Structure 1
Amino acid sequence: MSQATDPNAAVRTERVLSADPRTVFAAFEQPDKLARWWGPSGFTNTFEHFEFKPGGRWVFVMHGPNSASYPNESVFREIEPHTRIVIEHVVKPWYRLTVTLAERGGETHLAWVQEFESAEMAAKMRRISEPANEQNLDRLQSLLASEGA
């Protein structure tokens, strides 16, 4: 599947985190940390396969607070240490997530762009993705704070 080119096919979230890009990047790179914050509030994760390298697979199950399980499979398409990660979610719903990290005076500006296959799919997913992405970043921010970042 090709990357979406329609700006209406994307869901965007931005956040300034109280940690440097190296520390934020480590929260993606280290599976024990990633499992602690990935997903909306109340979710937990079981990672089955995690290869943090370009072309590497990431297979995991998200466990919702309602006891439902959500299988996920993604491929890391690009990794630029401390600056950029591109993840392709290869099961339905398909999307490409681009995370960019920029240093801002000891903090990190994080941009999170989730591109769906069409504007119609983005519109359908937006009501779920927008609050879920904010909760995801709230959990990342909490992890960073708990580690004294």
Structure 2
Amino acid sequence: MAATIGENVVINSREFEVPRELVYQAWTTPELLARWWGPNGFTNTFHEFDLRPGGEWRFIMHGPNGVDYPNHIEFVEIVPQERIVLKHTSSPEFQVTATFEDLGGRTKVTFRQQFMHAKEFEQAVKYCVEANEQNFDRMGELLKEMSA
């Protein structure tokens, strides 16, 4: 587990004790992704998930406080089992580059979140590092279940 904060960027990474194929499946199968995407206590309703460059992902994150957060994402680049680049076009605007590094049966995931506007970054960085770590925690639980 590691996090780095730079100029308008937050980078989280973590190693998982499962093969890269399983991690990629958890990222690209809507039914699986909906189970772990978001911080603790959040759930998701997916309306569209078109995993291809130019494809759109529209969903609502339901917060534990009862607030709904509409999200619109455009996929920029998909390199199967290696990299997913997506642009979050709803506020706050950011681009995520997720990489999946094969470590011989284990996988290192790096989640690089580049914010488009400094003001949005300044607000988001207050919760982003911890929220991304919670995302990884939730994904890790799913991956354990998938590998059992």
Alignment TM-score, normalising by the size of structure 2:
0.93
In the alignment, what sits opposite 1:51? Answer: 50
What corresponds to 2:3 in structure 1? Answer: none
The equivalent residue for 1:9 is: 8
Moved over 2 A (4+): 118-124
What RMSD in Å do the two structures reach over aligned CA positions?
Answer: 1.1
| 1:1-149 pair list within 5 angstroms | 7-148=6-147
The whole-number CA distance in structure 1 between the counterparts of 2:40 and 2:25 is 21
The structural deviation recorded for 1:119 is: 4.0
**Displacement of 1:120 after TM fit?**
4.2
Flag the structure with more relative contact order, 1 or 2, with Cα contacts below 8 A and sequence separation at least 6.
1
The CA deviation at 1:9 is 1.1
Contact 2:93-2:117 within 8 A present in 1 as well: no
Question: Which one-letter code corresponds to 1:82 in the other structure?
Answer: Q
Q: Which ranges of structure 2 fall in alignment gaps of 5 or more residues?
A: 1-5
- Which SS does the other structure have where 1:41 is aligned? coil
Alpha-carbon distance in structure 1 between the residues aligned to 2:38 and 2:130? 11
User: 1:35–1:45: 8 Å Cα contact kept in structure 2?
Assistant: yes
Unaligned segments of structure 1, at least 5 residues: 1-6
Q: How far does residue 121 in structure 1 lie from its aligned partner after superposition?
A: 3.1
Query: 1:111, 1:50 → 2: CA distance?
Result: 22
Question: CA deviation digits over 1:76-105, x for unaligned, max 9?
Answer: 100000000001001110000100010112
Between the aligned residues of both structures, percent identity stands at 41
Equivalent pair of 1:10/1:119 in contact (CA under 8 Å): no
TM-score, structure 1 normalization = 0.92
**SS in structure 2 at match of 1:53:** coil
